[in-house]
């Protein structure tokens, strides 16, 4: 089964593993490392704030500390902790053996880890990003901040975030496919446990919200490295960033809070011995929040120049979104009624989280009243409010650590130490954040504040150290448990319900002693060995009818597992790709000076007027080249590797019964790509309306060439369809011919594009001289990049056809490539009129 | 509705401070009440239903592997939900009427007499330009009991202009003009009052953000007119390096594209090199700010003369000196 799979004690195991439980542990450990990272930054600036005008950090150092603290906590700690739990538990709760795409799961982890490494490196590249975690424009472009003027460190931090977002996108596609396609028999969507429900909605929100952030970051990186002008101008740049960022930023609040809420639902049910009150309504409330989260972003912009009507609308949606949370809070409270409440460590943390969330919610209502919001904007009231909300989420997540610790490690922890941990945590939390309400008139992110506020800031600083020390207690408690804790039973918690408690602690590699099924109304492990793999006979087959616990004892000899299809758990290539992309982006972060040198040679006049500094960096250029080579090689090997991750034969798949896993994954990816292009096009429309629609003429010199390219792309869509037909007919020559034609058409498209660009360059039209030009080059450039990636895939497929007669037995990969290619064509159909005709 | 209600709920000539306090106190009162009730009820339930080891065997207890279902208590859930929704919605609709008032300003009559001031944020100082072209850097001088209509923008990055004492705030965004207003109460015993650092930046705007502050001076109408006349005279004489002249020169230098690196770079360098506490402040007007800080330690509402205390001019002139100091150091940064 897993002869080649190294044991957990070997380092190699952790580099190659694709198993969801391993990846979950990697996520959790890494995330807590970043908690320490972000926490130390917070302690630094809390010390600075001990007295007004503290001098521990320089101005720039203080700004870096608050900026990176925010970025680390929101991105590199909160979401990944939740991802870690989800990785470990969602497959267990829904009865799957692993995620749909195990290698992609590992890939998203390595992207995450390397993005964090890149962020850490940014501090040593002349100072990290210091424009706040909201990265407001135009402070976020090189021209405005001294430390970022050195450019490299600030760019590296943004590029690191870009890599992180990529990781999220990969993970999102994976989870969506898994949760919609791999639920155990009888486990309808309604029946999914609440932690998994909260995660399902989280990833749905992530799919769209992070795509918007991806687009915003791509534009920002383009400004920072290629010197385009999206966020530089005073012609709408600031508002463009605010819209893009908050369109992502508000759903992000729920993205980080939902998993915590899910944990609270689980622990409340377990430790009160009652089922959640109004379960259906709780789920509906969560769905409402998830949808509505995309309609409230402008409440972050009440003080900008948006008009009263829009303010009113967004005030209404904002207040509206608080109501479903009311329902969820009351549901948690009423679940305790008539229960058997046991004050274990996980429950204490969850109850604490509920109390803190109530306070955070009430203070949030203040912000919903626009007149109050005006005054609270940019003050410690906001800081206190969102820390109460988000860190109450952390509280629940810590509860989750204690709740599932015995399951993950097979060891019990010391309850007394756990309770001490909670007490110190809760005191530290309130001592840290409550005084911020009292100091509310202090502007955020300043260390020169009014004398009267000093007592509150000193309380907060003391609280910060108390809160920090509570995590030391936690690490000690968990470390002690690992070293000398008693073994944990399969189910240490009375009244737990979900499937992870029905299997050993820690669970075996293949999770289940048979095929999990809820067909009879409760969890059973079905023995499918008679290999009559007709997926239709769902309830007839031989099954272990015993109770879940008994089923385990009976089912020790899982020899029949060997009879099943071989399953892979190891691949080094996700690590390799992560490393390759990391090196590439590290190199890219230092390329600004080199691009500036290029600008100087192209347009000395502009170079002069913009006051750029040319500085060709052979070091960073070299790193980039090495990175691209590594990336290319590892991607190639990833594509060649044989890796079996079987689709569950029998599963609940509503509403995607008829879409196979990979195809569904491609669809999810394209959905997020739609948002990316949507944001690019939206940015163009926004800026053009701002400038006055008619004041911009099309940039490309020849409309006819654009039209020609449209025809070329449409024709290539047709040849891809033919390729699929050829593959289905097992016609190797035909397949090669059609794929080859597609590549040729793609190359022709790129050739025409190259001619257009060189013509524009020769007429002094460059991507850096003007906002209007920037938008044309960047938007069509992103599309060109998509075409290029498609061409790489097509060439790889031709290589596979020639070398191993690929796709003749199984033509589906040709179909998946076709989906992508058609999508790229459709995008062009939008871009052509927008940039050539209007 | 929208025209009658505000008049019923808000007496004429309310300042923003009044409006804010009215809403804030109500929210705080209700919020505290709701918070105490809900949290107490939560803890009460947790305690009351603590596990005492008596499991009623007849009950339908959750077990591992069951298909999830909901527990009882749905009706109570909706009752509480409805109650909280009513409170929240009521509060918000009520405060929305106040928003309309705040947005509309204190009424037509007041608006006709309003004093318009253009506010320009620049890393890291504030400049105020009056209708007659007079400019003041680092200090906003206003008459009491009259609506001050602010038109706020920025010439470099996103700032947020705020006078917490007056509950006035507006984002300062390059290329955008956002409006806000306030009415300052008359100073006691009729003397001019300078509120040190009453004006702050509320959006992270770079290395000097922490100390991007300005003073607010409130005068009686007559004193204000005198001050204004003096400013105009100085601007016209041209001999004096008035804040206005300097500032506009700076402004042209620092167009969106010209305001690059070198200027900011120098500022940062000077900040870091000057390691003592006061010059860790922002670029604009280190010396002045340091002086202000010292004074703020003594007493909060001193007037201009005490604040600088270097020469024996009267209040208003002294304020002006401050402005110049700001400007000059700003210029050093540029060159």
Instruction: Specify the pLDDT at position A268.
Output: 97
CB contact under 8 A, B175 and A269: no
Among B35, B76, B173, beta carbon nearest to A359: B35
- Count CA atoms closer than 13 A to B158's CA, side-chain side: 30
DSSP 8-state secondary structure symbol assigned to residue B201:
E
A75 Cα distance to chain centroid: 8
Of B80, B176, B202, the CB nearest to A377: B202
| The two three-digit tokens of residue B305, written as one number | 């003369």
Q: What is the DSSP letter of B188?
A: G
Consecutive H or E run containing A379: none
Angstrom distance (rounded) from CA B132 to CA B146: 17
Indicate whether B320 pLDDT > 60.
no
In whole angstroms, what is the distance from residue B204 CA to residue B209 CA? 6
- The domain spans of chain B are 4-45+74-104, 110-256+263-334
Q: Mean of the pLDDT values across residues A361-389?
A: 94
* pLDDT at position A697 over 50: yes
Contact A359 B271 (CB under 8 A): no
- What's residue B275's pLDDT? 34
Q: What residues of B are in contact with residue A334 (Cβ under 8 Å)?
A: 73, 76-77, 80
Task: Count CA within 13 A, CB hemisphere, residue B156.
Answer: 30
B267 touches chain A (CB under 8 A): yes
CATH code for the part of the protein at B110-256+263-334 = 2.60.40.420
Query: What confidence tier does A564 reach under pLDDT thresholds 50, 70, 90?
Result: low
Residue A710 CB neighbour total at 10 angstroms = 18
Cα four-point dihedral sign A209, A141, A441, B185: negative
Query: Around Cβ B233, how many Cβ atoms within 10 Å?
Result: 11
Q: What is the pLDDT of residue B93?
A: 84
The Cα–Cα gap between B140 and B130 comes to 10
pLDDT digits (tens, 9 = 90+) for B216-239: 999 999 999 999 999 999 888 764
Interchain proximity A521–B67, CB inside 8 Å: yes
Which of B55, B174, B275 minimises the CB distance to A238? B174
Q: Is the pLDDT of residue B199 over 50?
A: yes
A626 pLDDT above the threshold of 80: yes
pLDDT at B29 over 70: yes
B201 touches chain A (CB under 8 A): yes
Per CB-CB distance under 8 Å, the chain A contacts of B92 are 315, 319, 365, 368-369
pLDDT (average), residues B138-163: 95
Alpha helices in A445-559 (DSSP H): 454-484, 548-554
What is the per-residue pLDDT for B107?
73
Q: What is the pLDDT of residues B48-84, one digit of tens each?
A: 999 987 766 657 889 999 999 888 778 889 898 999 8
Q: Determine contact: B33 vs chain A, CB below 8 A.
A: no
Cβ atoms A473, A461 nearer than 8 A: no
Q: Facing residues of B170 across strands?
A: B161
- B-chain residues near A305 (CB < 8 A): 171, 173, 176-178
Flag the least confident range among A3-12, A366-375, A740-749, B194-203: A3-12
- Among A271-280, B69-78, B211-220, the least confident range: B69-78
pLDDT tens per residue across span A452-466: 999 999 999 999 999
Q: Is B122 helix (H, G, I), strand (E, B) or coil?
A: strand
Question: Is A467 in contact with A36 (CB distance < 8 Å)?
Answer: no
A9-25 average pLDDT score: 96
- Note whether B204 contacts A132, CB cutoff 8 Å: yes
**Closest residue by Cα to residue A283 from A372, A200, A384, A369:** A200
Size of interface A-B (CB pairs under 8 A): 349
- Residue B116: which region, alpha, beta or left (left: phi > 0; alpha: psi -120 to 50)? beta
| Higher pLDDT, residue A534 or A101 | A101
Domain boundaries, chain A: 511-563, 697-838
Instruction: Quote the pLDDT of residue A146.
Output: 53
Cβ contact (<8 Å) for A279 and B49? no
Instruction: Give the pLDDT of residue A432.
Output: 98
Chain B residues within 8 A of A342 when measuring between CB atoms: 50-51
Pairing of strands B147-154, B115-122: parallel
Helices A79-94, A237-272: axis angle to 10 degrees equals 50
Tell me if chain A has a CB within 8 Å of the CB of B121: no
How far off is chain B from A702, nearest CA to CA, in Å? 31
Q: Which of A273, A371, A451 sits opposite B61 (nearest CB)?
A: A273
**Nearest residue to A193 via CA among A122, A249, A269, A108:** A269
Mean pLDDT for A135-152 is 75
The partner residue sitting opposite B268, judged by closest CB among A60, A233, A355, is A60
Q: Which residues is A516 bridged to in the sheet?
A: A525
**3-class DSSP state of A401:** helix
Beta bridge partners of A443: A379
Q: What's the whole-number mean pLDDT along residues A498-511?
A: 95
Work out the pLDDT band at B189, boundaries 50, 70, 90. Answer: confident
Note the pLDDT of residue B60: 82
Q: Can you tell me the mean pLDDT for A508-534?
A: 84
Quote the minimal CA–CA distance from B51 to chain A in Å: 4
pLDDT of residue B70: 84
What is the token pair recorded at A655?
Answer: 């509403």
| pLDDT tens by residue, A600-610 | 999 999 999 88
Mean pLDDT, to the nearest integer, of B133-162?
94
The CATH fold of domain A697-838:
1.20.120
- Cβ A446–B69 below 8 Å, yes or no? no
Q: What percent of chain B has pLDDT over 70?
A: 66
The 10 Å Cβ neighbour count of residue A427 is 14
Decide if A371 and B91 are in contact by the 8 Å CB cutoff: no
| pLDDT score recorded for residue B236 | 82
Residues 6+ apart with CB under 8 A from A17: A5, A23, A26, A106, A569, A570
Instruction: Return the pLDDT at A530.
Output: 59
Examine the pLDDT at B326 and tell me if it is beyond 50: no
Minimal CA–CA distance to A820: which of A786, A796, A783, A795? A786
For residue B127, which phi and psi values (nearest 5 degrees)? -120, 140
Name the residue facing B85 among A272, A323, A337 (closest C-beta): A323
The Cβ of residue A802 has, within 10 Å, a number of other Cβ atoms equal to 11
CB contact (8 A) between residue B67 and residue A186: yes
Query: A497 vs B201: CB contact, 8 Å cut-off?
Result: no
Which whole-number Å values give the CA distances from B84 to A235, A257, A321, A325, in the listed order?
43, 21, 13, 11
Confidence at residue A565, expressed as pLDDT on a 0 to 100 scale: 65
Four-residue CA torsion sign, B114, B115, B116, B122: negative
Q: What is the mean pLDDT of residues A560-580?
A: 81
What does the pLDDT read at residue A610? Answer: 85
Give mean pLDDT, residues A730-743. Answer: 96
Which residue of A lies nearest to B279 if distances are taken between CA atoms?
A: A53
- Complex ipTM: 0.91
Model pLDDT, residue B57: 62
A453 vs B contacts (CB less than 8 Å) = none
For tokens 């920072």, the residue is A224
Is A483's pLDDT higher than 80?
yes
Closest listed residue to residue A829, CA positions, set A706, A674, A743, A684: A706
Whole-number pLDDT of residue A175: 98
Asked whether the predicted pLDDT for residue A415 surpasses 60, the reply is yes
Q: Cα–Cα distances in Å, from B305 out to B192, B194, B302, B309, B318? A: 11, 10, 8, 6, 6
pLDDT at B253 over 50: no
On chain B, the residues whose CB falls within 8 A of the CB of A378 are 160, 162, 169, 202-203
Task: List the single residue in A372, A502, A613 with the smallest CB-CB distance to B27.
Answer: A372
> Average pLDDT, whole number, for chain B?
73
Confidence band of B257 (pLDDT split at 50, 70, 90): very low
C-alpha A824/C-alpha A818 separation (Å) is 10
Give yes or no for residue B321 having a pLDDT over 50.
no
The SS3 of residue A35 is helix
Nearest neighbour of B20 by CB, restricted to A276, A335, A375? A375
Task: Give residues with Cβ within 8 angstroms of A16, minimum separation 6.
Answer: A6, A570, A571, A572, A575
Report residue B274's pLDDT band, with 50, 70 and 90 as the boundaries: very low
Strand partners, B142: B218
B9 pLDDT more than 80: no
pLDDT at A150: 56
Interface contact A275-B80, CB threshold 8 A: no
Question: Residue B309 has what DSSP assignment?
Answer: -
Nearest to A633, CA basis, from A583, A565, A695, A568? A583
Task: State the Cα–Cα distance between residues B20 and A838, nearest whole angstrom.
Answer: 48
Chain A, nearest residue to B70 by Cα = A279
- C-alpha to C-alpha distances, A359 to A324, A455, B122, nearest whole angstrom: 16, 22, 37
Q: What is the pLDDT of residue B317?
A: 36
Of A445, A380, A248, the C-alpha closest to B203 is: A445
Nearest-Cα distance to chain B for A298, in Å, is 14
Closest listed residue to residue A327, CA positions, set B75, B46, B80: B80
The arithmetic mean of pLDDT across residues A412-429, rounded, is 98
Secondary structure letter of residue A837 according to DSSP: I
pLDDT at A563 over 70: no
Nearest residue to A523 via CA among A181, A90, A191:
A191
At B264 the pLDDT is 35
Question: Which of B76, B161, B206 to mutate: most A Cβ within 10 Å?
Answer: B206
How high is the pLDDT of residue A83?
98
pLDDT higher than threshold 80 for residue A192: yes
Residues of B in contact with A195 (CB under 8 A): none
Half-sphere exposure of residue A728: CA atoms within 13 angstroms, side-chain side: 8
Higher pLDDT, B147 or B291: B147
CA-CA distance, A503 to B254, in Å (whole number)?
68
């Amino acid at each position: 089964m897993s002869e080649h799979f190294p044991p957990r004690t070997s380092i190699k195991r952790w580099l190659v593993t694709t198993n969801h439980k391993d990846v979950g542990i990697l996520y959790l450990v890494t995330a807590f490392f970043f908690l320490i990272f972000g926490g130390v930054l917070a302690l630094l600036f809390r010390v600075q704030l001990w007295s007004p005008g503290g001098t521990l950090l320089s101005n720039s150092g203080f700004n870096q500390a608050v900026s990176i603290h925010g970025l680390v906590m929101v991105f590199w700690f909160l979401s990944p902790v939740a991802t870690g739990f989800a990785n470990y538990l969602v497959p267990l709760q829904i009865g799957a053996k692993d995620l749909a795409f195990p290698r992609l799961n590992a890939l998203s982890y390595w992207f995450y880890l390397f993005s964090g490494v890149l962020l850490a490196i940014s501090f040593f590249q002349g100072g990290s990003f210091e424009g706040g975690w909201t990265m407001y424009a135009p402070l976020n472009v090189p021209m405005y901040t001294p430390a970022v003027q050195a450019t490299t460190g600030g760019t590296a931090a943004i590029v690191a975030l870009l890599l992180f977002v990529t990781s999220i996108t990969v993970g999102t596609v994976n989870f969506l496919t898994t949760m919609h396609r791999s639920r155990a028999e009888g486990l309808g969507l309604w029946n999914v446990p609440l932690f998994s429900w909260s995660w399902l909605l989280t990833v749905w929100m992530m799919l769209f919200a992070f795509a918007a952030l991806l687009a915003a970051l791509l534009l920002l990186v383009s400004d920072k490295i290629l010197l385009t002008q999206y966020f530089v101008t005073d012609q709408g740049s600031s508002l463009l960033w605010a819209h893009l960022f908050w369109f992502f930023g508000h759903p992000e609040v729920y993205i980080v809070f939902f998993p915590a809420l899910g944990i609270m639902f689980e622990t409340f049910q377990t430790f009160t011995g009652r089922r959640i009150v109004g379960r259906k309504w709780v789920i509906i409330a969560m769905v409402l929040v998830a949808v509505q989260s995309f309609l409230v972003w402008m409440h972050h912009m009440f003080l900008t120049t948006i008009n009263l009507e829009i303010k009113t609308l967004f005030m209404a949606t904002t207040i509206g979104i608080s109501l479903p949370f009311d329902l969820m809070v009351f549901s948690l409270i009423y679940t305790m009624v008539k229960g058997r409440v046991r004050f274990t460590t996980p429950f204490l943390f969850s109850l604490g989280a509920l109390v803190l969330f109530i306070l955070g919610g009430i203070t949030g209502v203040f912000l919903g009243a626009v007149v109050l919001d005006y005054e609270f904007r940019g003050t410690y009231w906001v800081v206190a409010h969102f820390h109460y909300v988000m860190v109450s989420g952390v509280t629940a997540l810590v509860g989750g650590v204690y709740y599932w610790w015995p399951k993950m490690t097979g060891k019990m922890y010391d309850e007394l130490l756990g309770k001490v941990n909670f007490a110190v945590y809760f005191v530290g939390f309130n001592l840290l954040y409550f005084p911020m309400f009292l100091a509310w008139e202090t502007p955020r992110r300043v260390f020169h504040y009014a004398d009267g506020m000093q007592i509150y800031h000193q309380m907060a600083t003391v609280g910060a150290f108390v809160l920090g020390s509570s995590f030391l207690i936690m690490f000690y408690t968990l470390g002690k448990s690992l070293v000398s804790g008693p073994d944990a039973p399969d189910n240490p918690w009375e009244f737990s319900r979900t499937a992870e408690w029905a299997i050993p602690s820690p669970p075996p590699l293949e999770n289940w002693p048979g095929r999990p099924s809820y067909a009879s109304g409760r969890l059973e492990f079905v023995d499918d060995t008679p290999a009559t793999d007709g997926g239709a006979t769902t309830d007839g087959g031989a099954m272990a009818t015993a109770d879940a616990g008994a089923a385990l004892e009976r089912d020790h000899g899982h020899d029949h597992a060997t009879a099943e299809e071989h399953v892979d758990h190891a691949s080094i290539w996700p690590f390799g790709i992560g490393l390759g992309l990391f090196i590439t982006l590290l190199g890219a972060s230092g390329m600004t000076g080199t691009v500036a040198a290029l600008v100087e040679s192209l347009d000395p006049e502009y170079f002069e007027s913009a006051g750029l500094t040319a500085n060709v960096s052979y070091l960073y250029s070299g790193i980039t080249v090495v990175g691209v080579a590594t990336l290319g090689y590892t991607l190639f090997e990833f594509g060649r590797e044989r890796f079996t991750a079987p689709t569950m034969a029998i599963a609940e798949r509503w509403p995607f019964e008829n879409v196979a896993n990979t195809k569904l994954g491609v669809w999810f990816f394209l959905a997020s790509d739609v948002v990316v292009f949507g944001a690019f096009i939206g940015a163009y429309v926004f800026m053009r309306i701002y400038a006055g629609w008619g004041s911009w003429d099309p940039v490309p010199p020849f409309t006819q060439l654009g039209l020609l390219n449209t025809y070329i792309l449409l024709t290539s869509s047709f040849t891809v369809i033919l390729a699929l037909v050829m593959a289905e007919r097992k016609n190797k020559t035909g397949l090669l011919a059609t794929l080859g034609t597609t590549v040729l058409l793609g190359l022709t498209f790129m050739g025409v594009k190259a001619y257009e660009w060189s013509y524009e360059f020769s007429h002094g039209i460059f991507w850096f001289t003007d906002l209007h030009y920037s938008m044309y080059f960047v938007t069509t450039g992103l599309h060109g990049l998509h075409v290029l990636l498609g061409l790489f895939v097509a060439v790889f497929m031709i290589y596979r056809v020639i070398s191993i007669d690929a796709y003749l037995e199984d033509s589906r990969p040709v179909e998946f490539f076709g989906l992508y290619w058609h999508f790229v064509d459709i995008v062009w159909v939008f871009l052509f009129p927008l940039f050539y005709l209007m | 509705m929208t025209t009658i209600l505000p008049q019923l709920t808000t007496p004429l000539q309310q300042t923003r401070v009044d409006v804010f306090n009215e809403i804030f106190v109500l929210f705080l009162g209700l919020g505290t009440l709701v918070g105490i009730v809900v949290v107490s009820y939560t803890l009460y339930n947790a305690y009351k239903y603590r596990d005492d080891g008596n499991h009623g065997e007849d009950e339908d207890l959750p077990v591992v592997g069951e298909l999830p279902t909901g527990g009882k208590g749905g009706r109570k859930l909706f009752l509480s939900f409805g109650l909280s929704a009513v409170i929240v919605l009521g509060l918000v609709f009520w405060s929305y009427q106040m928003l309309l008032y705040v947005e509309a300003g204190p009424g037509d009559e007041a608006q006709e007499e309003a004093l318009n001031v253009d506010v320009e944020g620049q890393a890291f100082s504030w400049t105020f330009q009056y209708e007659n072209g007079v400019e003041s850097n680092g200090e906003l001088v206003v008459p009491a009991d009259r609506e001050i209509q602010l038109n706020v923008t920025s010439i470099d990055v996103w700032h947020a202009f705020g006078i917490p004492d007056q509950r006035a705030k507006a984002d300062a965004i390059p290329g955008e003009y956002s409006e806000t207003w306030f009415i300052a109460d008359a100073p006691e015993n009729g003397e001019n009052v300078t509120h040190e650092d009453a004006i702050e930046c509320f959006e992270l705007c770079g290395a000097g953000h922490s100390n991007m502050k300005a003073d607010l001076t409130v005068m009686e109408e007559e004193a204000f007119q005198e001050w204004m006349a003096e400013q105009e005279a100085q601007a016209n004489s041209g001999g004096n390096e008035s804040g206005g002249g300097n500032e506009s020169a700076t402004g042209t230098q620092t167009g969106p594209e010209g305001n690059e690196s070198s200027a900011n770079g120098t500022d940062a360098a000077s900040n870091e090199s000057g390691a003592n506490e006061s010059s860790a402040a922002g670029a604009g007007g280190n010396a002045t700010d340091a002086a202000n800080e010292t004074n703020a330690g003594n007493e909060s509402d001193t007037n201009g003369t005490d604040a600088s205390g270097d020469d024996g001019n009267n209040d208003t002139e002294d304020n002006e000196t401050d402005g110049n100091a700001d400007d000059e150091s700003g210029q050093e940064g540029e060159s």
